[in-house]
Chain A
Amino acid sequence: MIVNNKDIFSLKPSEGLQQRLHIDFPLLLAFMAIFMISLTAIYSASNGSIDAVVNQGIKILISISAMAVIVQFSPLSYARAGPWLYFLCLVMLVLVLVIGETRNGATRWLNIGIISFQPSELMKIAMPLMIARYISRGALPPDVSSVALSITIVLIPSYLIMQEPDLGTSILIAFSGLVVIFLSGLKKRYLALAFTLFFAYLPFMWSSIHPFQKKRVLSFLNPESDPLGSGYHLIQSKIAIGSGGLFGKGWLNSTQGQLDFLPERTTDFIFAILAEEFGFLGVSLLIGIYLFIIGRGIMIAINAQDLFSRLLASSISLTFFVYVFVNIAMTTGLLPVVGVPLPLISSGGTSMVTIMIGLGMLMSVQTHRRLVEK
């Protein structure tokens, strides 16, 4: 089925509740399942604190509301807003480095009177929009100059965020942009070149990253070398996951979590609590739900009716996967501790809202499709 872009506007929206509400029910169901898991895990990880659960519940409601609003807009309007949002974020990222708030040695927050927030979170949305918008304008595969410009668009905010410093977010944002360039059909030799450049850059990155980041990488390579220091998180996390076994210790029976051995267990290490309490089977189910969301996103991308929507939907889906992968790989010791939350489950409001906005845009791609009249 080939549809001219021109024709789209003459098509009628498909009927049905999902289309009218612009909500994709299978995705919504998966989100609900994930949120139930989140509340269950937060209750246990916070040693049975109702406050923590209510707090998380409020954040979930805000996130769902944000998604519900976002899905009402068509992908076309995102495409239009993309560049504006991107440049706004860029300005704010510069402002962060100049007048930003510093917490725990990292300057990531911008105080705009009423609230303070992280512009880098907003960039997570702006980046795929901007790149998808830019690439989809030209013919595919993109030529050298537009690839070069695309890469520049990706690297500027990534660099700024790395200066905050926030290595994890920086890499994830870069990924969400680069994945669009990759999907647009970048020639294989460019890809090879990019890889070569990346590995050539690694030693420079090593010398420029902060000492605490170096320590994390080193302790990842050999956590037992400093069991009470930088390797502590990882060791305790592995003990939690491993001691869960096949079936887990049961809800609220996580000794590693209940007895405070595992740090940051409501945020970055919440996966370890789930693994300890619900075992291999439990986390396999969770991974299954995540894969359903990602699979559904890729389906949406494939079925999307224009290039922008396709690129946007696939970028969001693949970035979502990377979030999930990086967090689980980090808690199981496959990757260094980079401080990435488990999407939709870890407590922490901003990241949940931005992820749900992203997933809302994904849903919008599906629910704003127009059917060709027979």
Chain B
Amino acid sequence: MEFKSGAAQETEKTIFLSRIVFSVSTIALLVTLILLRLVQLQIYDSDKYKLRSMNNTIRTHSLPATRGLIYDRNNQVLAENQPVFQLEMIPEQIEDVEQTLNRLIDLEIIEARKLDRIKDNIRKNYQFKSIVLNNRLTERQMAVFANNRTGFKGVDIKARLSRHYPKKEIVAHALGYVGTISSMDYSVFDPSIYTGKEQIGKTSIERDYERLLHGKPGNEEVLVNVKGRVMESLGKKPFAPGSNLILTLDTKLQEIAYEAMKDKKGAVVGIDPSNGEILILVSTPSYDPNLLSRGMTALEYRTFETNEDKPLFNRAIAGQYPPGSVIKPMLGLAGLHLGFIDPTKYEPCDGAFLLPDYSRPFKDWRMHGPVNLKEAIQASCDVYFYKTAIKMGIDNMSDFLSKFNLGSPTEIDIGQEKVGIVPNPSWKKNNFKSKENQSWYKGETVITGIGQGYMLTTPLQLAFATSMIANKGKSYKPHLVKGITDSGLNKTEYIEPVMVNYLDDIDLNHWEIIHMGMKAVINQKGGTAYGMFDNNYPLAGKTGSSQIYSTEKTKGDNVPEEFQDHGLFIGFAPPDNPKIALAIIVENGISGRTAAAPVAKKILDVFLEE
């Protein structure tokens, strides 16, 4: 150690102190800088960072609501939610993933062809996330897995809910089906009330009552770590289950109608005339909505869509058919009401009707001899109605038929119903392009008199019109939903019938004459459905057959099936106090008597017994 003079030490210390002052000032400056920075981060911008911290760590898991159930009028379940069992695996809990998968394949619990996709899923996801190995286990697979469970740590069976329709094809067109949500669905329904995991209604009741059936999803806030692993639950908002629906349908009648129709193409609609409740709505061929709801492969769906018989097509509300002779009671009533028909007067029928300027006669299906209105309905005399049509003229006819809601929507609460056509000169003018096709010909008035030509109706429209006839003019809007049960309040709200039309200016005697004619169809000799029902059957009805092509070629015995006439039947029972109005169409059924009337009998035999 060298020794320094006192003076030197003094200088050293002065210099040192001046430098220390500088250093301390620098420290003060830097500490101020840090404190300012902390004030900025922790006080000034704190809210921003708190939000970012929460976004970092809080995730909201949505809990899909359970879909409302659908019952028939007698509380029989038509659509329910069934647990479906799927096999899931958490990769991080498994020692040897490869070996585990191979053993599951050996046990036939997972399919070998899906192995690559499963492995791909495992690679792409976090190891603590559950991977679905089989999304629908059969009972056998579940039993096999249960027996071998100890060997599969980290593999488990999980339940989820899936729509199930116990009646399968029988109620398919009325109920519709559900499926996974598409972007198209999101353009119709508010995406914010869907979690994306649930099924959404695609057609009919399931679609048109989607907002009620769907319910409101709940959610759960969870704390996650940086990898998204759930650490704890912060709070749960339970879902609100969807409302249950009680339909107007009677499953028993529906079953009988389907049973009678299942090998045919066509439709049956049955309405309670006293309130508009639809008791039967069948369209055949049908489909199993369970297959559609569980998700089909593209190929399976294409076979459905390209099927020539169009099983997905709801003929009951969207099938448009010429009504044929079932229009006669309505036109008879029109003639009576407008004074063109004297019910006591007999008109000759020699099997054909000739119009001046027309070289070809309008044929009747047989020679009837002289008939009055009642007998013309009973025996379905075409000539009588050809003459009536000419007397009334097309505008009178179309105006009166419109009162039966033909050519207009019934406003049923499901689906996209078609409105059919009630033709008249102005309709023709608006719907044909070339000038010569726009003018109305007298011959067209004639064939409209027997429900042929341009006229088209849906089975639903015919059933609705029949309910008006049965009720002597009073009618209620047809509907499928009878009541809505709020699952939360457990209270059922019933839908009031809505009266839509009341032809109260029509003489009751005129209605009576039409009813007599329709009763005679069933119960009197010469009635077109006579012999098809038991004696004195409490039914008033009318058969019909409508031609697809009015060419000579389609007459005779060797006509290909698709060109054969449709068989139709309308009716109401019991005639004095009608409880049901029916419309039945059997495509290419040749005649209403042989094809459609037996379907009515099967339904009514059961209905009238109750």
Which residues of A does B touch, CB under 8 Å?
A: 2, 4-6, 76, 79, 137, 139-141, 179, 182-185, 236, 238-246, 255-256, 259-261, 275, 279-280, 283-284, 287, 291, 294, 298, 301-302, 306-307, 310-311, 314, 318, 321, 325, 328-329, 332-334
Contact = CB atoms under 8 A, between A and B. Distances in A.
Given A261-B57, A307-B16, 14 more contacts: A6-B3, A76-B1, A240-B53, A242-B41, A242-B42, A242-B46, A242-B53, A246-B42, A259-B223, A260-B227, A287-B34, A306-B1, A307-B12, A334-B37
Contacts of A4: 3, 6
Contacts of A333: 37
A5 B3 contact: yes
Contacts of A310: 13, 16
Contacts of B12: 139-140, 185, 307
Given A140-B11, A294-B27, A183 B38 contact: no
Contacts of B43: 245-246, 280
Name the 9 nearest CB pairs between A and B, nearest first. Answer: A242-B49, A185-B15, A243-B53, A259-B225, A280-B42, A260-B226, A245-B46, A242-B41, A243-B49
Given A6-B3, A242-B50, A183 B8 contact: no
A187 to B, nearest CB: 10
B302 interface: no
24 contacts: A2-B9, A5-B3, A140-B8, A179-B23, A182-B19, A238-B41, A238-B49, A239-B49, A242-B41, A242-B48, A244-B46, A246-B42, A246-B46, A256-B56, A256-B57, A260-B226, A280-B39, A280-B42, A283-B38, A287-B34, A302-B20, A310-B16, A325-B30, A332-B34
B559 interface: no
Interface residues of B, number: 46
Interface centre among B49, B53, B56 (most CB of A within 10 A): B53
B6 A79 contact: no
B42 A139 contact: no
B499 interface: no
Nearest to B3: A5
Contact of A239 (B38, B52, B223, B231): B52
B227 A321 contact: no
A318 B46 CA distance: 31
Contacts, number: 146
A241 B226 contact: no
Given A185-B16, A242-B46, A284 B226 contact: no
Interface in B32-74: 33-35, 37-39, 41-43, 45-46, 48-50, 52-54, 56-57
B17 interface: yes
Contact of A243 (B8, B37, B46): B46
Contacts of A5: 1-4
B354 interface: no
Interface centre among B6, B57, B223 (most CB of A within 10 A): B57
A49 to B, nearest CB: 16
A321 B13 CA distance: 22
Nearest to B5: A4
B184 interface: no
Contact of A245 (B4, B37, B50): B50
Interface in B197-212: none
B510 to A, nearest CB: 83
